[in-house]
Every structure is written in structure tokens, then in C-alpha cells.
Amino acid sequence: MREALKLSQVHFSFPTPTGPLSVLAGVSFAVREGEWVSIVGPSGCGKTTLLRISAGLLFPQHGTVEVFGRPPRGQVAYMPQGETLLPWRTALGNILAAREADGRVDYQTRQEALALLAQFGLEKFAKAFPHELSGGMRQRVALLRTFFANRRVLLLDEPLGALDALTRAEVQDWLVDVWQSVRKTVVLVTHDVEEALVISDRVLTLTPRPARLAAAFPVELPRPRERAHSQVQALRAAILHALAEARQ
């Protein structure tokens, strides 16, 4: 299986009045086509910066980023943290926005979007505006918009972070169903180790800033995964231990 996203010795610093603040210090990893990789690490270690570089929104001072062997701009869909829906557009209108940047919104595109809403249980909310939806519904629509973009690599930055625990678990399961249907390559940043294990094929851990790759954990368990499963909990303990060791 070919590499969809590849970072090689990526270094990045932000300028400050007292000199450069090193955020990433030689981060290297690759994500295979169709794979779901989650990235966890301490707060402030540079996870969002890493995603923004992977999206082509920031440029590393050293190192390279490639998406299918080319620069990432125009090849990835990036979902940042926080509320990302356009409040003046319906759920359907928000999903269609994923294709408007490429000028491909026609009758067929609209039908595809409606079919996607129906496939994943949101057809009754197609004409609803964001303020008429619950937090979980808004995140579902935002995630479908990202999946609907005509991009082969999706970058998700804490998409479920604002949800309560019960809603978050429900949307996690729903998200796995969406991904298994469309099978795009996904990189997810999350603070929730259990979330990463329930969803991912691999979990990568980062050190504190300046971040380096600390460890990689394959998750070789069939989906759907029970959160209380002994292997999930064993992997969770191993990842938390790796994160604690990286702090020392």
C-alpha cells in the first residue's frame, strides 16, 4: 500500500521577541493510503502546528511534507478545532461548501450530498441551520463536510473535543462507520487516548515541545471496538506510560 502522507525531518519554529520558539524538532512519519492514524501528545507540544504543516498552511523551516509525492496544498481537507459550520447555511449548504471551492456544485453534487446525509442518518436535518442542531449534530455535519471534500487525505484537529462524554462516544462510533464507508486516509489529533484506540489503525505519540515522535502503537483489533476490552485498556496503559516517559 502506497504512502499517502509523508513527513521527513520536519522542523518548525515560531518567531518571538526573545528569539525563535522551537515547536517541532525533526518529526518524521508516513501514513499509508486508506489508513487512520491518530496523534496524541502533551498540550502545547505542536500537534495543531503539525496538522497545519501537513495541510500546507504553514511551511517547515527544514524537512519536507508530501501528499502522494507532491506538495500538500489542494490535496488535503483540513478540519480545525472549534465551530466550523457557516451559521447562515443549512446542513446541506454547509456540506456542499466542501466542493464549492473547486467549482463543482451542480445537480449531481447536490444529490451526492443528500445521499451522504441519508446514508448517515442526517437526512431529516438537511434544511436545518446550525443553531437548530445539537452540538453532536453540528459536529456530524462538519465531519461529513470534510469527508465530502474531493480530497484523499483528511486532517482532523480535535473534532470531538467540545462534546460531552456520552455524545462523544456516540459520534466516535458514527465516525468509524463513515470512514469505513468512504475509506479515505485520515490523520486525527486528539487528547483522548481511548478515542484514538477505538478509531485508529495506529496511534503516534509526541514528546513535549519541541516535539519529536516518541512511539508508534499499531492497533490490530477488529472494529467495532469495545472501550472496556482488555487489549484496548492494555494499549491505553502503554500509551499513557510512553507519554509519561517522554516528559522525563
pLDDT score of 150: 85
* Cα 221 to Cα 224: distance, rounded to the nearest angstrom: 9
pLDDT of residue 119 exceeding 80, the answer is: yes
pLDDT number for residue 248: 67
Model confidence over 58-70: pLDDT tens digits?
999 999 999 999 9
- The confidence score (pLDDT) of residue 59 equals 93
Average pLDDT, the chain: 92
Mean pLDDT of 18-31: 94
Mean per-residue pLDDT, 207-224: 93
Residue 217 reports pLDDT greater than 90: yes
Span 49-104, pLDDT tens digits: 999 999 999 999 999 999 999 999 889 999 998 888 999 999 999 999 998 877 77
The region, left, alpha or beta by phi > 0 then psi within -120 to 50, assigned to residue 236 is alpha
At residue 143, the pLDDT reads: 94
174-183 tens-digit pLDDT: 999 999 988 8
C-alpha cell at 108: 449531481
Domain ranges (residues) in the chain: 3-75+153-247, 82-150
Q: Which of 124, 135, 133, 119 has its CA nearest to residue 180?
A: 119
d(CA 74, CA 68) in angstroms, rounded, equals 12
- Residue 44: predicted pLDDT: 86
Pick 73 or 203 by higher pLDDT.
203
3-75+153-247: CATH superfamily: P-loop containing nucleotide triphosphate hydrolases (3.40.50.300)
The pLDDT, as a whole number, for residue 245 is 83
Overall average pLDDT of the 26-55 stretch:
95
Contact in structure between 58 and 223 (CB atoms under 8 Å) = no
Written in H, E and C, the secondary structure of the chain is: CCEEEEEEEEEEEECCCCCCEEEEEEEEEEEECCCEEEEECCCCCCHHHHHHHHCCCCCCCEEEEEECCECCCCCEEEECCCCCCCCCCCHHHHHHHHHHCCCCCCHHHHHHHHHHHHHCCCHHHCCCCHHHCCHHHHHHHHHHHHHHCCCCEEEEECCCCCCCHHHHHHHHHHHHHHHHHHCCEEEEECCCHHHHHHHCCEEEEECCCCECEEEEEECCCCCCCCCCCHHHHHHHHHHHHHHHHHHC
> What is the per-residue pLDDT for 92?
96
For residues 38 and 197, give the distance between their C-alpha atoms in angstroms, rounded to a whole number: 8
**Res 244: pLDDT:** 87
**Whole-prediction pTM value?**
0.93
Residue 185 has pLDDT above 90, yes or no: yes
